[in-house]
Amino acid sequence: MNPNENAPIVLIVDDMPFNVKVLRETLKRDYRIEVAINGAEALERARGEPQPDLILLDVMMPEMDGYEVCRRLKDDPLPVSIPVIFVTAKDDEAAEEQGFELGGVDYITKPFSLAVVKMRVRTHIQLKRQTDTLERLAYIDPLTGIPNRRQFMETLEREYQRALREDSALSVLMIDVDHFKAYNDHYGHGTGDDCLREVALALLRGLFRPGDQIARYGGEEFVAVLPRTDREAAALLAERLSQCVLDLQRPHARSSTSDRVTVSIGGATTSLHAEARSLEALLSRADQMLYRAKEGGRNRSLVADMDERLGM
């Protein structure tokens, strides 16, 4: 095993033991090396965790050649972003063009120079990590460091589809910092930013399960996605989150609700009735409940089922 457990993972896919041995010896000082001896093994490993950072893929293999393996990798949403370098004895232009059309990032012909292999692997590993970093930043709110609205919407869509498949409950909470404009006006925007960061951390601490997610929705508003969570459980968690923010003991001299920073929370839970199941309707109901929590005096939480009739 590579002593550096944080080293990038290179998956070598080749049915020839000699080729595997040469590549492993060449790369093992800088990378964690894994091996698949056929296409089926390669696909299974590429879908597993932790995912490879790069795949060295032989073209000429029995049953499923490298081109077919690459095509299936690029059709699969899990391993689609893993860079693939073809390693093959085919050196004609048509074969190389086919590899690039299928999504390969590079093409190394046999017999290969080990120095060239090392340089190309290093280059594409660096590009992959830079791309991963940029993608992570695109999903993170820069002020609070928690997921942003974009990530929330993608997570919500994914969990909503899972809830439909499994016929399981899904809850959403909308969380608003009470009288935040007055807080900013009194303490200044710098202190307001500090407040939002503290609230974000308090909300994170209030979550129980790894699958639950808190995100910043915009301004002083946060949201939570709670998979497999019914209305009763969502209501209890909403109360817990509200208390976590209250426990910050952060002064709010301009609040008409409390002398400390508080939040109002509105939530909604999917219904088993098909006509009540809609992602847009779920968010709309959570927003309605947030409005009611504010109208009811703030510093409170209200959660409703989608099929629950709301009186005016």
**Rounded CA gap, 301 and 311, in Å?**
17
> Would you state the pLDDT for residue 92?
78
> Would you state the pLDDT for residue 312?
43
Q: Tell me the pLDDT band of 257, cut-offs 50, 70 and 90.
A: very high
List of residues 6+ apart from 59 with CB closer than 8 A = 65, 66, 67, 86, 87, 88, 90, 95, 99
Listed range (42-46, 181-185, 268-272) with the worst mean pLDDT? 268-272
Query: Does residue 220 carry a catalytic annotation?
Result: yes
Residue 2 has pLDDT above 50, yes or no: no
| Residues facing residue 171 across a β-bridge | 226, 269
Q: Tell me the pLDDT band of 274, cut-offs 50, 70 and 90.
A: low
Are the CB atoms for 106 and 120 separated by under 8 Å?
Answer: yes
Residue 108 has pLDDT above 80, yes or no: yes
Residue 91 has pLDDT above 80, yes or no: no
What does the block give as tokens for 174?
Answer: 């909308």
Nearest Cα neighbor of 268 from 219, 221, 234 is 234
> Would you state the pLDDT for residue 275?
53
Side chain identity at residue 49, one-letter code: E
Residue 130 has pLDDT above 70, yes or no: yes
What is the strand order of the sheet 32-36 is part of? 32-36, 9-13, 54-58, 84-88, 106-109
The count of other CB atoms within 10 Å of the CB of residue 28 is 14
pTM of the model: 0.68
Listed range (9-18, 103-112, 243-252) with the worst mean pLDDT? 103-112
Q: Which whole number is the average pLDDT over 235-264? A: 97
Give me the sign of the Cα torsion angle 91, 97, 98, 104.
positive
**Active-site option among 41, 96, 101, 220:** 220
pLDDT digits over 30-82, tens only?
999 999 999 999 999 999 889 999 999 999 998 899 999 999 999 988 888 89
